[in-house]
Amino acid sequence: MTEPRDLALEALYEADQRELSETTADLPHKAARLVAGVLAHLEELDAEIDAASEHWRVARMPVVDRAILRLGLYELRYEPETPVAVVVSEAVRLAKTFSTEKSGAFVNGVLAALADQKRG
């Protein structure tokens, strides 16, 4: 069974590539909720990621890394029942699985910095 975060990441990647605003059809409830939440708060999430990521603007990040950071930050801000450590470790897992080993370290650093700020 595919994890909801994996499905959400795939949907967010597709939405970014095709400039779609809604891609939750046929997704399980949790994945659809995550995707809808990220898309609803996209500008805010991108502004926070821009502020926290040194030398990298969101627009210049690899699409997968950008989607992972958006998903992780959304969970940090709007899914308070999910522990910070779980959000960060899942984001790093996604980066290592779908991007590169270096992406895992990058995602960890950015989300750790964002997690240190007031949560949601």
- φ, ψ of residue 80 in degrees (nearest 5): -65, -20
Please state, in angstroms and rounded to a whole number, the distance separating the CA atoms of residues 116 and 54.
16
Is CATH 1.10.340.30 the right assignment for the domain spanning 4-116?
no
**Model pTM score:** 0.91
In whole angstroms, give the CA distance from residue 86 to residue 8.
16
Q: At what angle do helices 63-78 and 4-18 cross, to 10 degrees?
A: 120
User: Could you read off the pLDDT of 56-109 as tens digits, one per residue?
Assistant: 899 999 999 999 999 999 999 999 999 999 999 999 999 999 999 899 999 999
Cα dihedral across residues 5, 14, 63, 100: positive or negative: positive
pLDDT digits (tens, 9 = 90+) for 4-16: 999 999 999 998 8
DSSP 3-state of 100: coil
